[in-house]
Amino acid sequence: MFEFYLRIGIYFFCFLLALFGMSALDFNRFLKQDRVVQAQVLYFILCCILSYLMGNFMIALMYRFYKG
């Protein structure tokens, strides 16, 4: 049960980190005008993808070093 909460915490931390990192990009250059809702959906999906990849990487590293 602890492992489940640890994974959720790691994914949540990575999601916040992805939100913080994605805020540095200027999406106005890449998106069409007057497409605010679509841009927000794309932003959320990209943050989810980044957080999933970062979380899996961190979990794999923890298992590698923990189990030896």
pLDDT tens profile 49-58: 999 999 999 9
Residues sharing a CB contact under 8 Å with residue 39, sequence separation 6 or more, in sequence order:
27, 31
In a 13 Å sphere around the CA of 14, the CA atoms on its Cβ side amount to 20
Please state the pTM of the whole predicted model: 0.83
pLDDT tens profile 10-48: 999 999 999 999 989 888 888 888 888 998 999 999 999
Question: Where do the structural domains in the chain lie, given as residue ranges?
Answer: 2-67
| pLDDT at residue 32, rounded to an integer | 85
